[in-house]
Amino acid sequence: MAVSKGAQARQMKAMFEGLTGQKIPDYTAEHPDTRAMLRFLFPGKSDRFPIATGLAAKKLGVSQGTVQRWIRGAQNPRAAITKEITKRVRQSVTTQRGRGQLAKRVQAQLPNRQRTIRINALQGPSSDPNDKKYVAERFSNLDMSPFEQQQLYDAWVQGGDAGATDYLTGIYDTRYVDGWQFHGIKGVEWR
């Protein structure tokens, strides 16, 4: 059974946000939120300074004051700059290189201990998503060692949400229930 484009987009978003802990700014909107995209691309060191304005200015070829005016809403970036910011967000979300950079940033902050992954999905021990006896939308939890967490991030970097789902299917099949399958992940979180 083929998964719809909408379901694929939901799964990509769920996997991305669950593994990185970051919301994806809407870069597809007609008038994307510049502040949200800058915060996503150039995170600051604290809540008081949520955007690294100096780094953003350097990477975008503008002054730091210009970036600060964008953030306050006193000025909008030129169309070419908006296009560049949007492109960078899209690449961070959809390319192997972008996922790799985000995974590296996230993993530097992760505790080196066992954690539990909680997955909300249409799932169960059947390859048929219409098998009502074994497959249902539910939550499942699995404890993962630091090594397994690293392998999950590596699979996500290499293959996106499909790669991460394949890795999770394999580990759930081995350690959770034989034949366990995911048929559209709707949420991922760490506990």
pLDDT tens, position by position, 32-87: 888 899 998 998 887 788 899 999 999 999 999 999 999 888 888 998 999 999 99
Residue 128: φ, ψ to 5°: -95, 110
> What is the identity of the amino acid at 186?
K
- Residue 151: how many CA atoms within 13 Å on its side-chain side? 12
Residues 93 and 119 reside in one and the same domain = no
Residues 122 and 183 reside in one and the same domain = yes
Residues 128 and 70 reside in one and the same domain = no
Using the 8-state DSSP alphabet, how is residue 94 labeled? Answer: H
Residues 79 and 133 reside in one and the same domain = no
Q: What is the pTM of this model?
A: 0.80
CB-CB contact of 131 with 185 (8 Å): no
Residue 184 maps to a domain: yes
Residues 119 and 159 reside in one and the same domain = yes
Residue 185 maps to a domain: yes
CB-CB contact of 138 with 123 (8 Å): yes
74-126 per-position pLDDT tens digit? 888 998 999 999 999 989 888 999 899 888 888 888 778 899 999 999 899 98
Residue 83 maps to a domain: yes
Domains identified in the chain, total number: 2
Residue 14 maps to a domain: no
Identify the domain containing residue 49 by its residue range: 21-98
What distances in angstroms separate CA 92 from CA 25, 95, 162, 175, one per listed residue? 11, 6, 16, 32
Residue 25 maps to a domain: yes
